[in-house]
Chain A
Amino acid sequence: GENVEQHPSTLSVQEGDSAVIKCTYSDSASNYFPWYKQELGKGPQLIIDIRSNVGEKKDQRIAVTLNKTAKHFSLHITETQPEDSAVYFCAAGDQGGKLIFGQGTELSVKP
């Protein structure tokens, strides 16, 4: 079946540094790639997404890139802050609306 691999599982950075999380997907029919942030005790919330007809999207300190040929997509967070500490999930969606998630990355930003 469809599979989404996410790396790394944990990431620790100093405040102000950049953080990069990478995902690969297996289903060529996937055409929607959202990223979710989960804070302690809460459900995941969408932070940014990209569609298959776009290579890159940016929203303030967050950017996502997509390489459809290689089936890779990545989340980039610049100028990290302690409040960025959370678990981040990538996902791949198909035309029918189904969403398959990666394993998650626990990001820790040290002041």
Chain B
Amino acid sequence: DVKVTQSSRYLVKRTGEKVFLECVQDMDHENMFWYRQDPGLGLRLIYFSYDVKMKEKGDIPEGYSVSREKKERFSLILESASTNQTSMYLCASKIGGASTEAFFGQGTRLTVV
């Protein structure tokens, strides 16, 4: 079974802190994603990585950066956390290219106080 593991289920951080959300997949997938899930807004794409060290901005990249130094790991970085970044963050991975199934992690509920 494909496994996408997010490092934390719940996280509480203070405003202004630098926050790292980690995601690891075990199926040698080329593509990895970070989404943010908010009620009524669905899943909004923050960043997309189509291969190691390759990244593309999604719809809402402001305030975030990403790192993909190794194929299995995709990190989301909040440079200076703000309260409006309180949300559920979902990581996903899939085989590269079109028409392939994306597998999601269980999500990280981040609260910024």
* Contact A101-B50, Cβ < 8 Å, known A32-B98, A32-B99, A43-B107: no
Assembly CA distance A44 to B107 (angstroms): 10
With most chain B CB atoms within 10 A of its CB, the pick from A6, A49, A95, A104 is: A104
Q: A94 near B43 (CB under 8 angstroms)?
A: no
Please tell me if B45 contacts chain A, counting CB pairs below 8 Å: yes
Q: List 27 A-B contacts (CB under 8 A).
A: A9-B40, A34-B102, A41-B106, A42-B106, A43-B4, A43-B92, A43-B104, A43-B105, A43-B107, A44-B43, A46-B102, A49-B99, A51-B99, A89-B42, A91-B43, A95-B97, A96-B50, A97-B48, A97-B97, A97-B98, A98-B45, A99-B33, A99-B102, A100-B59, A101-B42, A101-B44, A104-B42
Given contacts A98-B48, A103-B41, 19 further A-B contacts (CB under 8 A): A31-B98, A31-B99, A32-B99, A34-B102, A42-B106, A43-B90, A43-B92, A43-B107, A89-B43, A91-B43, A96-B50, A97-B97, A98-B45, A98-B50, A99-B33, A99-B102, A101-B42, A103-B40, A103-B42
